[in-house]
Amino acid sequence: MAILEICTYPQKVLLERAELITDIDQEVAKLAGQMAETMYNAPGIGLAANQVGVARRLIVADAAPRTLESNLVVLANPEIIAAEGEVTSEEGCLSVPDCQAEVKRYEKIAVRGLDLRGEEVVIEADGLLAIVLQHEIDHLNGVLFIDHISRLKRDLFKRRLRKNMAKREA
Ligand SMILES: [Zn+2]
């Protein structure tokens, strides 16, 4: 196992649509394990494959990472098949460091995807897990949480992120 490097805005892999996974093979299982380890280490509650530089449709999430029982969700090719309600909460992102903003999401969702055995699963989620799953599925479509906020605030964040990056590269 290994901790992977997390890509940050404005790296291109975060802004593009990730590819469908056609085969759940050893490589996908290994990537999922490394993504989970990277997420817990960060620490974070969700991670999409393109956040670690892999443009494939794979996400991991754990909305209760501090409980003893593992609540780890791993899904390939996740898609929202039903949604209801509306909830606004503060979000952040490992790929958009030092930025938080209120984002409006569906309150409850049903997500269909493939597990690591390649079997179709449907996860019904509400609360924090519903928000995390929407955030991660957005990633696979090249969408960041800052794309959901006001343009003014987004521009402010983007300027800040570019400045931080310039500082790191200097
Ligand atoms: Zn994120």
In sequence order, what are the residues at sequence separation of 6 or more whose Cβ sits closer than 8 angstroms to the Cβ of residue 156? none
Q: Give the tens place of pLDDT for each residue, 12-50.
A: 999 999 999 999 999 999 999 999 999 999 999 999 999
Residue 74 domain flag: yes
The domain tally of the chain equals 1
The Å distance, Cα 130 to ligand 1 centre, comes to 14
Q: How far is the CA of 143 from the centre of ligand 1 (A)?
A: 9
Cβ within 8 Å of residue 79, ≥6 positions away: 111, 112, 113, 137
Q: Give the distance (Å) from ligand 1 centre to CA of residue 79.
A: 16
Q: What percent of the chain has pLDDT over 70?
A: 99
Domain that holds residue 109: 12-169
Collect residues with CB below 5 Å from ion ligand 1. 93
Give per-residue pLDDT as tens, 124-135: 999 999 999 999
- Tell whether 88 is covered by a domain: yes
Active-site position among 91, 102, 120, 136: 136
Taking the centre of ligand 1 as the mean of its atom positions, its distance from the CA of residue 129, in whole angstroms, is 13
For residue 54, being part of any structural domain is answered with yes
Is 151 within a domain?
yes
Kindly give the distance from the C-alpha atom of residue 145 to the centroid of ligand 1, in angstroms, as a whole number: 7
Instruction: Encode the chain (170 residues) as per-residue pLDDT tens digits.
Output: 689 999 999 999 999 999 999 999 999 999 999 999 999 999 999 999 999 999 999 999 999 877 777 799 999 999 999 999 999 999 999 999 989 999 999 999 999 999 999 999 999 999 999 999 999 999 999 999 999 999 999 999 999 888 888 887 77
Contact predicate 87/102, CB 8 Å: no
136 catalytic residue (yes or no): yes
Q: What is the DSSP string of 91-155?
A: E--TTSTT--EEEEE-SEEEEEEE-TTS-EEEEEE-HHHHHHHHHHHHHHTT--GGGGS-HHHHH
The CATH number of the domain holding residue 57 is 3.90.45.10
Q: Is 27 inside a domain boundary?
A: yes
How many angstroms is it from 23 CA to the middle of ligand 1? 25
The answer as to whether 6 is a domain residue is no
Q: Is residue 62 part of a domain?
A: yes
